[in-house]
């Protein structure tokens, strides 16, 4: 059994530990990372000083009661302080250093470094998820993603091997996400993969074409990444392609963060690799049952430590232990980014229901739709009209959004030729310009 297989075997065991046991296992890993960041970077000594009472991070005991005093790391901080966050030296067991860049869907792309230890551990976490869902690891995987090296363009894409540890000869097909939906469909029809991985709204566009043409395309599994998976999108993809849908939540600079529970309607945090917090807008722990900002600390990325890093997304913790019995922290919902949360008149944020997209189709015949909050009391509904020729019902759309939002909301319907993707080539169905102002 190789080192990766040993890690995967341990991960299969550790998910069943109690929450207290998992927290105890995290503590020495976190301590090692904090001492490393405080001594090997220029960025963290001052930010972590409270934990060491201003003493020598190499030898002082850590005051865990002051963890909440460690400043939250914003994305802008990481972008502006790249050089200061880089470690001057790394432990021998952390491996070589790999460079990466986030999609930039929230603004400026984030350049980052990751220790190969963190990358490999993240891949082991993915493998655990595949095994939990009994995915055929010898089958082929088609991955539609942003191709920054420009070697996987349509029509051929790229052909590789080994997308998992178990089957080194398993075929991996990669296509640049900039291909049109029709081109993506053509490519998938030619590749005939067993599994597909991409953004959910990307595959939904393909599904709509398949349904419109009355064609058939089937595969075993869809692995959803990179966007919030809405219930109606899950149903459309599952029904169109006769496949299972598995949702994995993560970030390029961190790796896998949470995954859909195979036994319940919840998500589990990958707590073996990170410290996970949900904070309110004052950087205090979010109240039970309320949305909180996802803040994580990577336990294995010694090349560029991310300590109390605000991902930019919101989630709700599960109030009760998951019925599956796993000790990993559980989430009820992952709501997406701040700009996807609408601002209410009292200043609070609200995530509009994914089902709203389906309900809107009763009054607004569309092929694509996007809800944009342009003011606290104003919503612009951008839509690509379908070919039915049926006129939109503004009054019913206004009533629908008033029930969802508040009674005084003004609604504007705006037909467009297409819904523009963000910088990360993602389609956002809910955008608040107020939340990002």
What's the order of all strands across the beta sheet hosting 309-317?
158-161, 171-176, 141-145, 195-198, 221-224, 244-251, 255-260, 267-269, 330-337, 309-317, 292-298, 274-279
**What pLDDT score does 229 carry?**
87
Spell out the CATH class of 3-62+70-135+220-339.
Answer: alpha beta
Closest CA to 166 of 200, 199, 137: 137
In the prediction, which pLDDT does 106 show?
A: 46
Q: Which 3 state secondary structure label does DSSP give 372?
A: strand
Q: What is the mean pLDDT of residues 166-175?
A: 96
Sequence ranges of the chain with CATH classification 3.40.50.12780: 3-62+70-135+220-339
Q: Which run of H or of E encompasses 141?
A: strand 141-145
Q: Average pLDDT in the 271-277 region?
A: 98
Q: Name the 3-class secondary structure at 55.
A: coil
> Where residue 423 falls among pLDDT bands split at 50, 70, 90?
low
For residue 4, count other CB atoms closer than 10 A to its CB: 16
Is residue 104 scored above 60 in pLDDT?
no
pLDDT for position 437: 44
pTM, full prediction? 0.84
Do 297 and 274 meet the contact criterion of CB atoms below 8 Å apart?
yes
The torsion angles phi and psi of 315, rounded to 5 degrees, stand at: -155, 165
Residue 107 clears pLDDT 60, i.e. is over it: no
Characterize the bridge pairing of strands 292-298 and 171-176.
Answer: unpaired
Least confident of 11-20, 57-66, 175-184, 340-349: 340-349
Kind of pairing between the strands at 267-269 and 255-260: antiparallel
Pick the closest to residue 125 from 295, 5, 8, 224 (CA basis). 8
pLDDT average, residue stretch 228-237: 88
Main-chain phi, psi angles of 198, to 5 degrees: -175, -175
Q: How far is CA 154 from CA 144, 173, 177, 183, 340, in A?
A: 11, 12, 9, 7, 31
* pLDDT (mean) for 266-291: 95
Q: What percent of the chain has pLDDT over 90?
A: 76
Assess whether pLDDT exceeds 60 at residue 105.
Answer: no
pLDDT (0 to 100) of residue 93: 96
Q: Which CATH architecture has domain 342-432?
A: 2-Layer Sandwich (3.30)
Q: What integer best gives the mean pLDDT of the chain? A: 92
Q: Are 311 and 336 in contact (CB under 8 A)?
A: no
Confidence of residue 287 (pLDDT cuts 50, 70, 90): very high
Band of pLDDT at residue 312, cut at 50, 70 and 90: confident
Q: Is 178 helix (H, G, I), strand (E, B) or coil?
A: coil
Task: Return residue ranges of the chain for CATH 3.30.300.
Answer: 342-432
């Amino acid at each position: 059994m190789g080192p990766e297989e040993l890690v995967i075997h341990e991960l299969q065991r550790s998910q069943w530990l109690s929450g207290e046991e998992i927290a105890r296992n995290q503590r020495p890993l976190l301590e090692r990372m904090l001492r490393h960041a405080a001594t090997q970077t220029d960025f963290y000594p001052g930010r972590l000083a409270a934990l060491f009472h201003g003493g020598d991070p190499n030898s002082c005991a850590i005051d865990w009661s002051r963890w909440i005093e460690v400043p939250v790391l914003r994305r802008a901080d990481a972008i502006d302080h790249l050089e200061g966050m880089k470690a001057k030296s790394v432990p021998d067991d952390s491996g070589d250093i790999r460079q990466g860049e986030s999609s930039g869907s929230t603004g400026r792309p984030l350049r980052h470094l990751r220790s190969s230890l963190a990358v490999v551990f993240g891949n082991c976490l993915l493998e655990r998820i595949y095994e939990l869902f009994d995915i055929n690891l010898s089958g082929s995987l088609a991955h539609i993603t942003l191709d920054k090296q420009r070697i996987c363009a349509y029509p051929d894409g790229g052909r590789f091997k080994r997308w998992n540890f178990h089957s080194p000869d398993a075929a991996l097909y990669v296509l640049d996400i900039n291909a049109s939906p029709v081109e993506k469909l053509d490519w998938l029809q030619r590749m005939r993969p067993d599994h597909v991985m991409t953004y959910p709204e990307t595959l939904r566009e393909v599904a709509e074409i398949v349904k419109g043409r009355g064609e058939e395309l089937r595969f075993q599994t869809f692995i959803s990444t990179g966007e919030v998976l809405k219930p109606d999108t899950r149903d459309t993809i599952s029904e169109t392609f006769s496949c299972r849908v598995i949702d994995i939540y993560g970030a390029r600079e961190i790796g896998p963060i949470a995954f859909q529970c195979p036994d319940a309607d919840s998500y589990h945090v990958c707590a073996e690799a990170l410290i996970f917090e949900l904070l309110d807008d004052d950087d205090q722990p979010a109240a039970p049952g309320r949305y909180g900002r996802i803040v994580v600390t990577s336990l294995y990325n010694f090349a560029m430590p991310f300590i109390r890093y605000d991902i930019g997304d919101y989630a709700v913790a599960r109030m009760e232990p998951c019925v599956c019995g796993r000790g990993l922290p559980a989430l009820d919902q992952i709501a997406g980014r701040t700009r996807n949360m609408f601002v209410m008149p009292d200043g609070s944020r609200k995530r509009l229901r994914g089902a709203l997209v389906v309900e809107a189709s009763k009054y607004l015949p569309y092929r694509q739709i996007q809800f944009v909050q342009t003011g606290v009391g104003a919503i612009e509904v951008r839509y690509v009209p379908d070919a039915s020729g049926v006129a939109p019902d503004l009054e019913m759309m206004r009533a629908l959004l008033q029930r969802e939002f508040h009674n005084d909301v003004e609604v504007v319907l705006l037909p467009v030729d297409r819904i523009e993707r963000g910088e990360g080539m993602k389609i956002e169905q809910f955008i608040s310009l107020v939340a990002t102002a």
